[in-house]
Chain A
Amino acid sequence: MNGLLSVVRRLGRAVIDGVWRLGFATRFFGLLLLYSGQSLRRVHLTIREVYFSGVLSLLIIIVSGLFVGMVLGLQGYETLQRFGSGDALGVLVALSLTRELGPVVAALLFASRAGSAVTAEIGLMKATEQLKAMDMMAVNPIARVVAPRFWGGVISMPLLAALFSAMGVFGGWLIGVVLIGVDEGAFWSQMQAAVDFRFDVVNGVIKSVVFGAAVALIAVFEGYDCTPTAEGVSRAITRTVVSSALAILALDFVLTSFMFRGQS
C-alpha cells in the first residue's frame, strides 16, 4: 500500500514539475517575442547567429543530403522497377525529400549540430555568471543573447532543409541516372510534372520553419533554464537533443495530417 502511494506521489510530482516547466517555457517564449524587436533591429546580432547555426551546419547538411538521396535512388529504383516504373524514380526521390525527409532529417541534424551548441553556449554563460553580469549592466539577456540565437535558428532551418532536399535530388540523380541508367529526360520531366509547388514545396517549407522554431526554442530555453553547473549544462544539452527529436517527429505527424489528407 505504501509502495503504491509513493508511486502515485512521485507521478504527481513529476506531472506538477512538468506543468511548471511548460509554464516557464511559455512565459519565456512570450518574453522572447516581446524582446525580439530590439534584437531584430540590431540585425548584425542575428546575422552572426545565422552564421553560427546555419553556415557552420552546411557541411553536415550537404553530405547527409547527398547520402540520403543516393540511398533513396537505390532503394526506390529497386522497388519501382519491379512494377516496371523505374522512370518514376525522380518523382519518388523529389516527393519524399520535399515533403518529409528534407525538413525532418535536416531538423534532426540541425538539433544535434546547432541546437546542442546553442544550449551549451547559453548554459555556460549562465554557469559563469555572464548572463547575471549582463543583467546587472542593464542589458536584458533575453534580448541580447537569447532572441538573436532563436531567430538565427528560425532563419537558418528552412534554408538548410531546402539545401538538404536539393542535395538529395542530386544524389538520387547520381545513382538513378548516372549509375543505373534511368532515362534522364523521364527522370526530370516526371519530377516536374508530379511535384506541385504549392502543395509539396511550400508545405515542406512550412514544416521546416515550424521545426526550426521548435528546435531553436527548445535549445535556448534549455540553456537559459539549466542548472548552472557542469552537470546541469550537460543534462540540458542531452535534453535539447532528445526533446527536439521528439518535438520534430510529433509535429511532423500533426502537420502531415493537416497538409496531406489524401487530397493528392
Chain B
Amino acid sequence: MSSESSATLVQLQDVRFAYGERVILRGIDLDIPRGKVVAIMGGSGCGKTTLLRLIGGQLRASGGIVNVAGQNLARLSTRELYALRRRMGMLFQFGALFTDMSVFDNVAFPLREHTDLPPELIRDLVLMKLNAVGLRGAATLKPAELSGGMARRVALARAIALDPMLIMYDEPFAGLDPISLGVIGQLIRRLNDALGASTIMVTHDILESLQIVDYVYFISEGRIVAHGTPDEIRASADPFVQQFIHAEADGPVPFHYPAEPFAPSLLGPGAA
C-alpha cells in the first residue's frame, strides 16, 4: 500500500470496469511513479480514457483498487474526492474551455473557485501560467478565437493553475499540426519537471510520445499487453507493439470488426 510520501503516486491493482454488459477493462495493474511522465497507449476505444476517468474519480471501478497519493478512491466521500482533485489537473481532448469566458477568466477559474486570493495576485498568477504556455498575449481572447493548438495550451495553463501533483492528458496530440504537436509535447515534459508533478498521458501518437516519456504502457482489449521504457519499447519484439509502432493495418489488432464469414453473407440470408 503506497503512502502519501512513497515513490508511487498512482497505483492500480487488478482494476476492472464495465459499462453495463460491455466490459472495458479486464484487470489492469499499473504504477505511476512520482516525477515521471507515463504514457498509456492503445488503439481508439481500448479503454484509455476510461482509465483516466477512473484515476480522476469520475468513474468508479467495478473491481480492483485505484490508489492515488495513498488514498483508495473507492473509500473517499465526495468532499474528500474534491479535495484530492484540487491537486490534480486534467487536460481534456478538445480543451473543454468555458466558452462564455475569456482566456484569462478560464485560467483564473480554479484560482477564484478555490482560493481567496486578492484580484491582483490572481492576475499575476494567471499571467505567469499563460506565459508558461506562451499565450500571455492572448489573455483577452475568447476560446472561439483560438486555434485548436492554442486552445489546448490555454486548457493546459488552466490545468496547472493550482500547481497540481498529478497532471492527466487525454489525447493531447489529437488533431494538431506538426508544429503545435511538438510544442505541446515539449510543454508536457517541461511543465512536469518544472512543477515537480507526475504526468499520465493517454495517447495513440507513439512517435511523439516516445521522445518525451519515461515509461509506456500498452493497452489492448482492456488488458496491459506490453510496458517498458521508450528504449525497451523500440526494441520490443512483441507483435502488438510492432504493429503499433509501424502503423500496420492488420496484426494482433485485426483490421476487420468481428463479422460472420464474408462469402455466405454476400449470398444472402437464404443461401447460408
Contacts and interface: CB of A to CB of B under 8 A. Distances in A.
Q: Do A and B come from one complex?
A: yes
Contact of A132 (B92, B98, B110): B92
A139 interface: yes
A110 B74 CA distance: 43
A138 B114 contact: yes
B56 A130 contact: no
Interface in B83-100: 83, 85-86, 88, 90, 92-94, 96-99
Contacts of A79: none
A26 interface: no
A77 B55 CA distance: 70
A137 B94 contact: no
Interface in B110-127: 110, 113-114
B113 A139 contact: yes
Nearest to B97: A130
Interface string A212-232: 000000000000000000000
A75 interface: no
Interface residues of A, number: 15
A138 B82 contact: yes
Interface residues of B, number: 21
A138 B86 contact: yes
Contacts of B158: 137
B90 A138 contact: no
A183 interface: no
Given A128-B99, A130-B98, A130-B99, A138 B83 contact: yes
B58 interface: yes
A139 B99 contact: no
Given A128-B99, A130-B98, A130-B99, A137 B92 contact: no
Interface of B: 56, 58, 82-83, 85-86, 88, 90, 92-94, 96-99, 109-110, 113-114, 155, 158
A136 B90 CA distance: 7
A140 B113 CA distance: 10
Contacts of A134: 98
A138 B114 CA distance: 9
Nearest to B110: A137
Nearest to A129: B96
A17 interface: no
A196 interface: no
A136 B99 contact: no
Contact of A136 (B56, B93, B113, B114): B56
A122 to B, nearest CB: 12
A133 B92 contact: yes
B20 to A, nearest CB: 14
A184 interface: no
Contacts of A129: 92-94, 96
Contacts of A136: 56, 58, 85, 88, 90
Nearest to A140: B82
B110 A139 contact: yes
